[in-house]
Structure 1
């Protein structure tokens, strides 16, 4: 509807408008995690700038290319630069800590998503959803052909009595979080997305899959995220194990003690 309005307005006024007007009750911000995305970051920020966002926070995580310089060309963006790699998903925690809005949209710098496909996540969070997830179920193969990461996502949701979510997860972007959830939760938890999702469900926050965006087709292939048993997949499986451990702890069920210390886990995250 917003897109149709903009087209009609542009036609009648004779000027070209590019923004997407959204009737949000609250304020909105976006957090973009970037790691050497010089080829896509302009397009990513261009789509976000079409939305009525109070803040766009870009966390540059160990970038060695031109990403920082390109981000600085966007005057509306707050750039947070860390020269050394922080570890996978740590940028989400940093961005959430800095965001000052009622809704925070999370994106990655490697995939430009049209503003029209980002708007539904803002609408859902503005309407009372605390965790508005990307609905990827329709893009997945049958169970027999699914990889270990997808099965871990489904198992976690089933363990939370939320089989209705299928394999939908905070691991995937885009997704949006309510400011309420961010304020009432330790931001560092967002560095382990499955655990954050488990906590959201266990503590009674509203978690829904709200819109489907295909992030598989255009997802950037990297050395660490391709091939069976790759390092990113191993990390995500470990994150889900940590989430299951949180469920067991809260339900008063003992589990085998992990041989990894928190220091070991931190080193594993930084390795990818």
Structure 2
């Protein structure tokens, strides 16, 4: 079964477009995870016939990436063999790329199919902050021996698809820290590849202010530093050159994640 997980945080205007893209794949099941929404997103979700699963609704904000982990756990419970992750604001013309990600997992044996959001034409116009973030992502991918296969791609950015074997191998908590999940998958010898290319400007994600952009970048940088320390057998710190990169990390509600994930005896995912 092909299942889509949609983390949703006040993204009512884009939800119909996201669902339309998923219908074009098509997927068997859609699991929306509503993350402290206050804009009517739940009401829109419940009116869409393509939503085959009651949404997971959390009135408290879960923080960045935690909804992804909760949706993955629900998909596991439902027997999903392939899970496609698409954020609730990604309503751009990306249905063909989503199909490519699914094909990579279902037909090509890939366990983690990533999106390259920075093809050369996009790289030419990135900001200094984005350029630094990409350098940190590339450094992690080099340390994992994956730079040749995935470049700067990361599960932190863009749609991606995973196999059931991936879900069985990575603890739920670590799905909420995507670069750490990437590092664990690489250490376990799972197959990781770029499955599609979608320039960041085509994802459909709305422009956010500079403060948000910096906090997102600091979140992902800190996550990459955690992943690098993990593979080196060091404490999972988020500091580099005297700077501590927290971003939105302190707002991740790992407590709510632990309270809602199912038990999985015998799966290897602890």
What secondary structure is seen at the aligned counterpart in 1 of 2:38?
Answer: coil
Cα distance in structure 1, aligned partners of 2:169 and 2:236: 30
Cα distance in structure 2, aligned partners of 1:71 and 1:125: 27
Match in the other structure for 1:154: 138
Match in the other structure for 2:225: 241
Match in the other structure for 2:195: 210
Cα distance in structure 1, aligned partners of 2:74 and 2:20: 21
Match in the other structure for 1:200: 185
State TM-score, norm by structure 2: 0.79
Match in the other structure for 2:34: 60
* Equivalent position to 1:114, from 94, 100, 112: 94
**CA 1:142–1:265 in structure 2 vs 1: closer, same or farther (change >3 Å)?**
closer
2:81 aligned with 1:102 = yes
- Could you say what the CA RMSD is over the residues aligned between the two structures, in angstroms? 2.5
What secondary structure is seen at the aligned counterpart in 2 of 1:152?
Answer: helix
Cα distance in structure 2, aligned partners of 1:56 and 1:173: 18
Shift of 1:215: 2.7
Q: Deviations over 1:5-45 (max 9, x none)?
A: xxxxxxxxxxxxxxxxxxxxxx2110011100011001111
1:172-183 counterparts in 2 under 5 A? Answer: 172-183=157-168
Match in the other structure for 1:134: 115
Q: Deviations over 1:128-173 (max 9, x none)?
A: 1000010234132389955222111111001112221211111112
* Equivalent position to 1:80, from 56, 71, 75: 56
Answer yes or no: is the 8 Å Cα contact 2:140–2:228 preserved in 1: yes
Answer yes or no: is the 8 Å Cα contact 1:153–1:167 preserved in 2: yes
Answer yes or no: is the 8 Å Cα contact 1:224–1:232 preserved in 2: no
Answer yes or no: is the 8 Å Cα contact 2:118–2:200 preserved in 1: no
What secondary structure is seen at the aligned counterpart in 1 of 2:206?
Answer: coil
Shift of 1:74: 1.4
1:242-257 counterparts in 2 under 5 A? Answer: 242-249=226-233, 254=234
Of structures 1 and 2, the one with the larger relative CO (CA 8 A, separation 6+) is 2
Q: Deviations over 1:209-268 (max 9, x none)?
A: 1210123343212347645xx21111111111111111111xxxx469679xxxx99634
Unpaired runs of at least 5, structure 2:
240-246, 254-270
Cα distance in structure 2, aligned partners of 1:245 and 1:268: 21
Name the stretch that deviates more: 146-155 or 58-67: 146-155
Cα distance in structure 1, aligned partners of 2:117 and 2:169: 27
Answer yes or no: is the 8 Å Cα contact 2:226–2:236 preserved in 1: no
**CA 1:222–1:269 in structure 2 vs 1: closer, same or farther (change >3 Å)?**
farther
Which has more radius of gyration? 1
